[in-house]
Amino acid sequence: MVDTFSVESRLHIREFDEGRDVKVVGKLERKCEIGTKKGVSIFTNMMADPSSRIRFYPLHVMLVAELLESKELVGVVRGCIKSLRTPSESLLKIGCILGLRVSPSHRRKGIGLKLVTSVEEWMLRNGAEYAFLATEKNNDASRNLFTNKCKYVSLSSLFIFVHPISFPAKQISKDIEIEKVNIDQAISLYRRTLMAKELYPLDMDSILKENLSLGTWVSYYKEGGLLNLQRKEESEDIITNEITSSWIIFSIWNTCEAYKLQLKKSQPLRFLHTTLNHARDKIFPCLRMSVSDSLCRPLGFLFLYGLHGEGENLGELMESIWRFTSRMGESLKDCTVVITELGFGDPLVNHIPQTASMSCIDDIWYTKRISSHSDEKDDELLIKRQIGNVFVDPRDF
């Protein structure tokens, strides 16, 4: 039985204080990743900045759970707010829950539930209509907390694809062109292609302009025609005058600059509840490295986002994108793998390269309405329940 009353009466939920909490939170998060048997574990190196995953959002918060008597920090949670649009042009203000941790010695005492409730209250005060989170399919503890105790419902199933960077990267077919577009061109293209998604962010321009976004490219067949991305007039949007029969647009996010993955001796590989908890347990097996070579070595990765394809011959184009990104990763310090995440209904799922070194992890998105301003019968998000084709925001990964 969970003893929530005694803990809650001795617990204080407050905002993270960067001046005094940085080292303590870092220690807490490392403690949360400790297993019970000997072996090797993998954890996130947050680069001494626990807020690195939420700084991209104007509205964000980091809450800590502190015991009143001892002042010990026993839990932490992050939250941010962003605006999304649906195909029906509905505007949704959503709060995202990221990085919930509770000290192993204080679990099953209601602290996690208290942190979730507190961050939901912060979201509601800041105008959010929904709360949202992601967790791996096999994380029974998280699923129990959010579905049974917090009343979240499944919103979408997704696939995380992880592929190690090969040295040297394989050559791209001579029949394929990969053309970089400038930010204005990328914004114009995404303004059109995002309409195919069932959920997408309103601030795509902000994402593309972040320092961690390395750029946007279009992959297409040379013989299919030229890709014309020129501006017709200064007052008009950039358009594609001529488009090839098959093409894919994609952008690359350099997470190496925000945080890295790192192995730690004496603990087993297991599902870890961290900012990247839903992907990291499968990254190490696909690296094809020996444990001795990997210990204490930071593992960075590139994240493919904004993937959208049109045409019938997308398989070879998708393979060229992975090779192109892998080649880019060769020049980045500590970059080890390339990762992307796609919804189960995204047509490009069927064109991911099927190689022995490609790993796939099941991910689940959950949501819950936290505001009571609209009739649930008209609730577009909850009525549909399973959304298949979504934009995966690199800031949340």
The strand ranges marked E within the chain are: 11-15, 40-45, 60-67, 73-85, 91-102, 130-136, 153-164, 176-181, 200-201, 213-221, 247-254, 260-265, 300-310, 335-343, 359-369
> At 61, is the secondary structure helix, strand, or coil?
strand
List the single range of 183-192, 296-305, 334-343 with lowest mean pLDDT. Answer: 296-305
At residue 370, the pLDDT reads 93
124 and 21 belong to one structural domain: yes
Report the number of distinct structural domains present in the chain.
2
pLDDT higher for 342 or 244? 342
Mean pLDDT in residue range 41-48:
51
Tokens of 2: 């969970």
44-53, 247-256, 350-359, range with the lowest pLDDT: 44-53
**Residue 264 in domain:** no
Residue 215's region, left for phi above 0, alpha for psi from -120 to 50, else beta, is: left
- Does the pLDDT value for residue 40 go beyond 50? no
150 lies in the same domain as 192:
no
- Based on the number of CB atoms within 10 Å of its own CB, is 22 exposed (0-12), middle (13-18) or buried (19 or more)? middle
The reply to whether 275 falls in a domain is no
- 3-class DSSP state of 26: helix
Q: Considering the domain boundaries, does residue 249 fall inside one?
A: yes
Residues 60 and 171 in one domain: no
Which of 159-163, 299-303, 333-337, 370-374 has the least mean pLDDT?
Answer: 370-374
What are the angstrom distances between the C-alpha of 364 and each of 23, 65, 168, 270, 321?
A: 31, 26, 34, 18, 25
Judge whether 335 lies within some domain. yes
Q: What pLDDT is attached to residue 53? A: 76
In this prediction, residue 241 carries a pLDDT of: 43
Those residues with Cβ within 8 angstroms of residue 34's Cβ, 6 or more apart along the chain or in another chain: 41, 104, 267
pLDDT digits (tens, 9 = 90+) for 195-231: 999 999 999 999 999 999 999 999 999 887 656 655 4
**pTM for the full predicted model:** 0.83
Whether residue 206 is found in the same domain as residue 352: yes
Provide the percentage of residues in the chain whose pLDDT is more than 70. 74
Segment 345-349 shows an average pLDDT of: 96
User: Residue 263 in 3-state DSSP?
Assistant: strand
- 354 plus 375 within the same structural domain: no
Q: What is the DSSP string of 293-304?
A: HHBT--BEEEEE
Taking residues 90-119, report their average pLDDT: 91
pLDDT band (50, 70, 90) for residue 72: very high
Mapping DSSP onto H, E and C, the string for 197-225 reads CCEEECCHHHHHHCCCEEEEEEEEEHHHC
- Residue 146 reports pLDDT greater than 50: yes
Mean pLDDT on 369-382: 68
Query: Sorting pLDDT into bands at 50, 70 and 90, what band is 81?
Result: very high
Residue 320, pLDDT score: 95
- The answer as to whether 69 is a domain residue is yes
* 53 and 201 share one domain: no
Do 202 and 321 lie in one domain? The reply is yes
Q: Give the chain's largest Cα–Cα span.
A: 72
- Say yes or no: 114 and 206 in one domain: no
pLDDT at residue 301 tops 70? yes
Considering the domain architecture, whether residues 244 and 136 belong to the same structural domain is answered as: no
- Interacting residues of 201 by C-beta distance below 8 A, sequence separation 6+: 82, 83, 84, 85, 207, 391, 393
Mean pLDDT, rounded, of the chain: 80
Joined together, the tokens standing for residue 239 give 């358009």
DSSP character string of 110-162: SHHHHHHHHHHHHHHHTT-SEEEEEEETT-HHHHIIIIIIS--EEEEEEEEEE
Give me the domain span that covers residue 376: 4-157+364-396
pLDDT tens digits, residue range 229-255?
554 444 444 444 455 689 999 999 998
Share of the chain above pLDDT 90, in %: 46
| Region 66-94 average pLDDT | 91
On whether both 15 and 46 belong to a single domain, the answer is yes
CATH number, domain with residue 246: 3.40.630.30
The pLDDT assigned to 279 comes to 43
Has residue 356 been placed in a domain? Answer: yes
Give domain status of residue 222, yes or no: yes
Give the per-residue pLDDT at 80: 96
Tell me phi and psi for residue 189, to 5 degrees.
Answer: -65, -45
Residue 241 within any structural domain of the chain: yes
* Tokens of residue 99, six digits: 């990085």
Residues 176 and 211 in one domain: yes
Tell me, yes or no, whether 353 and 320 share the same domain: yes
Measured CA to CA, the distance from residue 84 to residue 386 in angstroms comes to 16
For residue 280, name the pLDDT band (cuts at 50, 70, 90): very low
